Chain A
Amino acid sequence: MSLFGFAFKPRRARTAQTARDRLQLLLAHERLGSSSAPDFLPQLQNDLLEVIRKYVAVDDDGVEIVMQREDAMSSLEINIELPSESAPKGAAG
């Protein structure tokens, strides 16, 4: 190792550090039980649809939920596709 070490010095960034960071982030969420987030998300989605439908007609497929987990906070992005009057149904996307 030490004899030939110089020849095999990693040119790449140390990936083990990345692995550790990714795991810490993921496991922190999973242990907190926030991995169970998907359990309330379907209900949230249905409730949202119901509320929105009071005002506009939206497709069942018209709601998109995007989650991004980060160290300090996670974000939940909810996109609702409002059908335009003229577009034929199902042509969006």
Chain B
Amino acid sequence: MTTGLKEEQPLGRIVVITSGKGGVGKTTSAAAISAGLAQLGHKTVVIDFDVGLRNLDMIMGCERRVVFDFINVIQGDARLKQALIKDKRLDTLYILPTSQTRDKDALTKEGVEAVLNELKEEFDYIICDSPAGIERGAQLAMYFADEAVVVTNPEVSSVRDSDRVLGLLASKTKRAESSDEPVRATVLLTRHDQARIDQGEMMNVDDVLEILAVPLLGIIPESTAVLRASNVGTPVTLEEPSNAGRAYHDAVARLTGAEVEMRIGSERRPGLFQRLFGRTA
């Protein structure tokens, strides 16, 4: 049961997955990234900060096993150990679900800090799945972060919100308020659709990066594999290989400091029809 990981001090790195805008792929990314990290052998926990709208449990496929949640722990009704759900596929992966019944005021800064401090003693990576918006819930999810993954779609309102969030990361976090190094922020471009970019309908990667001016963690293509994975409750990185899965694996490697060449995977295999109709362009 114990893996010997406890011998060394765990990394204890807190990573928030945030975006401002809703529905851009935060939960999908939090699940995929945490499973990817765990696959590499890093002891990882993923926390659902979206109080009242529990979803991470379904994406991770552990919805039937929720007994206690994050709020129970914060309010002292359960021990952290009892609320953590051990993933059935990976030894190194744990999920801390949120409450479906409470509201987001149940989270307190002190409570969140206590839980995160306890998790730091055990885990290499603590992935925080932020709720949408820039209100209290989102601010608490980012407050203690060492690192932030700003999930962005190549679309005006998403980029604008990402910019707001980058501003918050630089001002309203513990690192910003202390003299520590600032939160390390990167952009994860998701639902990237090369065909629509080629048609000039969608901004390309360079457009987005130029505007946001932070490093790129990865480019996740629009992919049917994401829906399939959510149907069965498996993070897309644990599903059979797909372009989205591969792109998340690359992003995970970069998160751990590896240098991986950026590639743009497209689920549509755009060459196909061109070949069928004999176009050589």
Residues of A within 8 A of B (CB): 12, 15-16, 18-19, 22, 25-26, 30, 35-39, 41-42, 45, 60-61, 63-70, 93
Q: Determine the distance from Cα of A68 to Cα of B101 in the docked complex, in whole angstroms.
A: 19
Contact call B232/A68, Cβ cutoff below 8 A? no
Q: List 13 A-B contacts (CB under 8 A).
A: A16-B231, A25-B64, A26-B64, A38-B66, A38-B69, A42-B72, A42-B77, A61-B82, A64-B82, A66-B67, A67-B65, A67-B67, A93-B1
Residue of B nearest to A76 (CB): B67
B100 at the interface (CB under 8 A from A): yes
Contact A38 B230 (CB under 8 A): no
For B, the interface residue count at a CB cutoff of 8 angstroms equals 26
In this complex, the member of A25, A36, A45 whose beta carbon has the largest number of chain B beta carbons within 10 angstroms is A45
Cβ of B2 within 8 Å of any chain A Cβ, yes or no, is yes
With CB as the reference atom, state the residue of chain B lying closest to A20: B231
- Contact check: which of A18, A37, A39, A61 meets B81 at CB < 8 Å? A61
B interface, CB within 8 angstroms of A: 1-2, 58, 63-69, 72, 77-79, 81-82, 99-101, 227-228, 230-233, 240
User: When A and B form their complex, which 4 residue pairs have the shortest distance between CB atoms, in order from nearest?
Assistant: A42-B77, A19-B231, A15-B231, A69-B64
| Cross-chain contact of A18 among B65, B72, B79, B232 (Cβ < 8 A) | B232
